[in-house]
Amino acid sequence: MTKYLGLHETLDLHELLTFKNLCLTKATMMSALAQDEELGAILSADVTTGTQHIQQLQEFLTNRRDNE
What is the secondary structure of 1-52 as a DSSP string? -GGG--HHHHHHHHHHHHHHHHHHHHHHHHHHH--SHHHHHHHHHHHHHHHH
Contact yes or no for 13/60 (Cβ under 8 A): yes
Tell me if 1 is assigned to some domain.
no
Residue 3 lies in a domain: no
Digitized pLDDT (tens) for each residue of the chain, 68 residues in all: 446 778 899 899 999 999 999 999 999 999 999 999 999 999 999 999 999 999 999 998 887 655 54
Count of structural domains within the chain? 1
Domain contains 68? no
51 falls within a domain: yes
Residues of the domain holding 39: 13-63
Any domain includes 7 = no
Count of residues for the chain? 68
